[in-house]
Structures are given as structure tokens and as C-alpha cells.
Amino acid sequence: MSGRTLFEKVWDEHVVRSGGDDPDLLYIDLHLVHEVTSPQAFDGLRLAGRPVRRPDLTLATVDHNVPTTDRSEPITDPLSAKQIEALERNCAEFGIRLFSTRAREQGIVHMIGPELGLTQPGMTVVCGDSHTSTHGAFGALAFGIGTSEVEHVLATQTLSQRKPKPAAIQVDGELPFGVSAKDVILRVIADLGVEGGVGSVYEYRGSAIEALSMEGRMTVCNMSIEGGARAGMIAPDETTFAYLKGRPHAPQGADWDRALEDWRDLPTDPDAEFAWTHELDAATIEPTVTWGTTPAMSVPVTGRVPRPDETRDAEQARRALEYMGLDGGETITEIPIDRVFIGSCTNARIEDLRAAAGVVRDRKVAETVRAMVVPGSTMVKLQAESEGLDEVFRAAGFEWREAGCSMCLGMNPDILEPGERCASTSNRNFEGRQGKGGRSHLVSPVMAAAAAIHGHFVDVREEPARLAENPYLAGGGVG
Ligand SMILES: CC(C)[C@H](C(=O)O)[C@@H](O)C(=O)O
Ligand code: SF4
């Protein structure tokens, strides 16, 4: 038998019933739940009179709807309040652990699994949320599911799935100074398109990926879905194990040693075959800015916004430019911005905030800009505060908020006004994503921080002192 990829090993290990040409039935190790995609699933269980099969493998948090202002205030938006109350009721009724608005462990669903050590190599992880791919950074097979599948997993702890194909995204070489994980994944998506990964699970490999911190790896895997892939994975290694060791739900003592032995068998075998491979030289990646309404519409910060006839799909580009209020041809660094959002499950981990704070320290947000930092989880917020990062941001004029999805999507009070232009560390720039008529440019945390200070996009590589004094950016390790 020839060797197997990381993806195939995890898949094979979880097949409860092989489907032949039909989907396989997979066992699910960890099921994460949030307020938006779960209410009907719980209703379905109630109707059928079924319990949750493994409440101990199920964990819920509130993130999409929660306001990011003072948590001691009641939630004023009736729909948000209703969804959060519904999740509280459902979790109480079905015996599921929930981190609600005031819990120390509350945060964006893709932040808390890793933070608590619940997300581990070799696991299957699902959630009714497309960015579940984030957890693949640990060598887990993690993907988003629909609400009817949420109900199925709640009821049976299994899921019926058609097997995708493993594809290799090979990124070799060293990331240049000032280039971060966000730039890597924006480049991958620019190269392969938003549908390049359809039917595939991406395995990110190569020396540039190995050099990333866990935070950087999560940023890369997070956006796999924006490239159309079913999931994204990175082989577990010493960086992974060091991150996990000692976390509340990581194995301890002899269990840790046994787990390590298993985890070390997971990486793709040397003679395994991928369905296809995309090769990328890390040295050619630059700080990147999206100019359009898909994450694939991006250029290096040194570039220009393309004119429609310079793109692969002129009609699509024309529409995107119109929505974005751009003509085509502008140099990226000329584009003024109104808002800056540092947040989301893509880029609101502690290293992202440290890197952004390094750029911001002792400076002021441009007068024309309203900027906010929304930590991805309450634990990140507390950690950042213990390091004084909140003060750095506040002193510069940033708003410092409570944890949640916030302005990543317009489901809570944090939204763009029509026509407002935002430098955002999040992962989606569709029309209306951050508020009706809002214009989103996706960038890395340091690029967003620099844009806040200058009032327009700037090449962070022109701020070498800012980056040099920032150990978290060395080698492009973060965000
Ligand atoms: C609300 C939820 C279903 C959605 C997703 O699945 O991704 C959201 O998290 C998003 O990022 O658009
Ligand atoms: S932060 Fe954004 S991308 Fe992530 S789960 Fe929330 S809404 Fe989705």
C-alpha cells in the first residue's frame, strides 16, 4: 500500500461505515456550536424527542450576535437577545457546556477550541460555521456543516460526508520581512481563485508553513474556505505540541506521552500522493490588500487597483470596482480609509494584537479614521490587557472592545455605514459583508494598524523600525 496523506489518515481513522461510491459515515470528535446555526437543530431534536448523544464532546459559545460593548448592559437588539437566550435555554435543556456573554472562556467559536486545548491533532472537528477550517492548523480535519447536519451530529455524533481529495499547497522559502500569514493565504487565493479548492482539502506544507507560529497557521487555515477548499490542514509538529502542552483540555502525564506518539504518525508519508499540488515561493509574497468583492481580488501593496480589462473577468471586476467606489488604476497606497477593524477569527489572536500594537505604540490614529480592536476571545482580551496592549491601542485612539465576531459580519451593532471604506483583518469582503454599502479591504494586522495611523494604506515594510522592535513579526510568524 502506498503512503497516505495527513488528510487520508485522519479520514480513515474516523470512518464508522464506508459508503463505497456514496458518502462515508464519519465519527466526530468535537462539535462546536454557536447561536446562529443551532436553534433549528435543537428544535429538530426536541420534535424527535432525542437527546444529544455526546454532550461531553459538544461545546457552545456566543459570538456572532453579541455586542462588543460593556457586557454588564442588557442586549438591546431584540433578535440578538432572542438568539442568545435561545442558545442558553437549549444548552441548559440538552446538558451542553456553554460559554455565554459573561464567561471568561467566551469568544469566537474558532478561537476557544484551540485556546482550551480542545482542538487536537488527528481529530475530526465540525461546527455550523464555514471557518471551522481554522482548527485544521493543528492537523485536525475540521470543516463547516449546515444546520441539518448540526442536528445529525448532535443526535448521533456522526456525519455523512463525501470524501474530498487531498491537494498540496507547497510554500517553500522564507517569508520576507513584514510579510505575514495573512499575506500568504491572500496570495494562495489570488493564485488559485475562490473556487480553486472545490472538492479538495488543502494541506499547507513546506518550510514557510513550518516556520509559522500556531497563530499564523490558524490564519492560513481559516481562509481555506475562501479558496473553495472543504478544509485546510497543517501537519502537527513541535510548534503544535508546544502550543498545546498544559492547556486545560490537552492530555496530561502519561496520556500526553501516548497522544504525542499518535500525533507523530499523522504527517503525510513521503510516498503519499496528492491529487494536485500548487507551489509557491515564499520570497515572492508581499503585503497584500484586496481591492474588490472577493478575497481573490487582491494585489501587493506596491501595486495598483487593476482596470477591468486587466483582469480575468472584466465584467465581474467592473461591478466590484463600482461597488468599491474605485475607478481602477489607483495606486493602493493612495486609497484613503475611514475605518479600521482589527478582529475576527482570522486575525484577533494574541500575536496579531501584539504585532498591531507594535505598529501603533506612541502614535495616533489619523483624524479621518475610526479604528477598533476586537479581541477574538475574552481570554485574548485579558491576556492583552495584562500586557498593556489595550493602553497602547486606547492611547492611539482605537476603541478597545469585548470579544466577538463584531464587524467581521453585520450581525451585531458593529457595522460600516454605506460608502465607508474599511481596512479589515477579517476574511470576507463581499458586498454588504460589514454593513450595507460598506467597502472592505482585507489586510494583515500590521497593515491594518499602519493604515489606521496614516489614514490610507501604506507598505509596512517602510516602517522597519516598527517591525524590527516587534519580535512577533520576525520571519513573518504572525497574522
Ligand atoms: C453565521 C455563519 C453561518 C457564517 C459562516 O458559516 O461562516 C459566519 O460565521 C461567516 O463568517 O459568514
Ligand atoms: S469572526 Fe467572522 S468569519 Fe469568524 S466566525 Fe465570526 S463571522 Fe464568521
User: Each residue of 109-167: pLDDT tens digit?
Assistant: 999 999 999 999 999 999 999 999 999 999 999 999 999 999 999 999 999 999 999 99
Query: Between the CA of residue 285 and those of 186, 208, 297, 455, 479, what are the distances in Å?
Result: 10, 11, 15, 24, 14
Whether 95 contacts 74, CB under 8 Å = no
* Span 215-219, average pLDDT: 98
Strands 439-442 and 421-424: parallel
Predicted local distance difference test score (pLDDT) of residue 471: 52
Confidence of residue 470 (pLDDT cuts 50, 70, 90): low
In angstroms, what is the span from residue 149 Cα to ligand 2's centroid? 19
pLDDT at 474: 44
Q: What's the average model confidence in pLDDT over 287-310?
A: 98
pLDDT confidence bin for 473, thresholds 50/70/90: low
Reported ipTM: the value is: 0.99
- In whole angstroms, what is the distance from residue 169 CA to residue 110 CA? 22
Q: Where are the alpha helices (DSSP H) in 193-301?
A: 207-210, 214-222, 238-244, 253-264
Which of ligand 1's atoms lies nearest the C-alpha of 427?
11
- Per-residue model confidence (pLDDT) at position 476: 42
Mutate to test the pocket of ligand 1, among 34, 36, 132 (most ligand atoms within 8 A of CB): 36
Which pTM was predicted?
0.97
- Report whether residue 442 contacts ligand 2, using a CB cutoff of 6 Å: no
Percent of the chain with pLDDT over 70: 97
**Which amino acid, residue 145?**
I
422 has binding-site annotation? no
CA-closest residue to ligand 1 atom 9: 129
What is the model's pLDDT at position 410? 87
What integer pLDDT is reported at residue 343 of this predicted model? 98
Residue closest by Cα to atom 6 of ligand 2: 405
Is the beta carbon of 108 within 6 A of some atom in ligand 2?
Answer: yes
- Minimum mean pLDDT range among 313-322, 346-355, 460-469: 460-469
Nearest ligand, measured from the Cα of 222: 2
Q: What is the pLDDT of residue 230?
A: 98
Q: Which atom of ligand 1 is nearest to the CA of 405?
A: 9
| The pLDDT of residue 463 | 82
Whether residue 468 is predicted with pLDDT greater than 80 in this model: the reply is: no
Residue 434 has pLDDT above 90, yes or no: yes
Distance, CA 409 to ligand 2 centroid (Å)? 7
Of the candidates 156, 242, 168, 244, the one whose C-alpha atom is nearest the C-alpha of residue 201 is 168
Q: What is the DSSP string of 334-389?
A: G-B-SEEEE-TTTS-SHHHHHHHHHHHTT----TT-EEEE--SBHHHHHHHHHTTH
Mean pLDDT in the chain? 96
| pLDDT band per the 50, 70, 90 thresholds, residue 1 | low
- Spell out the residues 6+ positions from residue 76 whose beta carbon is closer than 8 angstroms to its own: 67
| Distance from C-alpha of 456 to C-alpha of 336, rounded to nearest angstrom | 4
Residue located nearest, by CA, to atom 7 of ligand 1: 130
| Cβ(380)–Cβ(111) below 8 Å | yes
pLDDT(464) > 90: no
**Domain at 6-162: CATH architecture:** 2-Layer Sandwich (3.30)
The arithmetic mean of pLDDT across residues 431-448, rounded, is: 98
Question: Is the pLDDT at 479 greater than 60, yes or no?
Answer: no
- 151 C-alpha to ligand 1 centroid (Å): 17
Q: What angle do CA 315, 319, 320 make, to 5 degrees?
A: 115
Mean pLDDT, residues 358-373: 97
Q: Is the pLDDT of residue 469 over 70?
A: no
| The pLDDT of residue 478 | 46
| Segment holding 55, helix H or strand E | none
Rg of the chain taking only CA atoms, in angstroms: 21
Q: Quickly name the fold that domain 289-476 has.
A: Aconitase; domain 3 (3.30.499)
User: Each residue of 61-100: pLDDT tens digit?
Assistant: 999 999 999 998 889 999 999 999 999 999 999 999 999 9
Ligand that comes closest to the CA of residue 408: 2
Structure confidence by residue, pLDDT tens digits, 392-428: 999 999 999 999 999 999 889 999 999 999 999 999 9
Which ligand has the nearest atom to the CA of 144? 1
CATH 3.30.499.10, the chain: domain bounds: 6-162, 289-476
The string of pLDDT tens digits covering residues 169-193 is 999 999 999 999 999 999 999 999 9
Side chain identity, residue 294: T
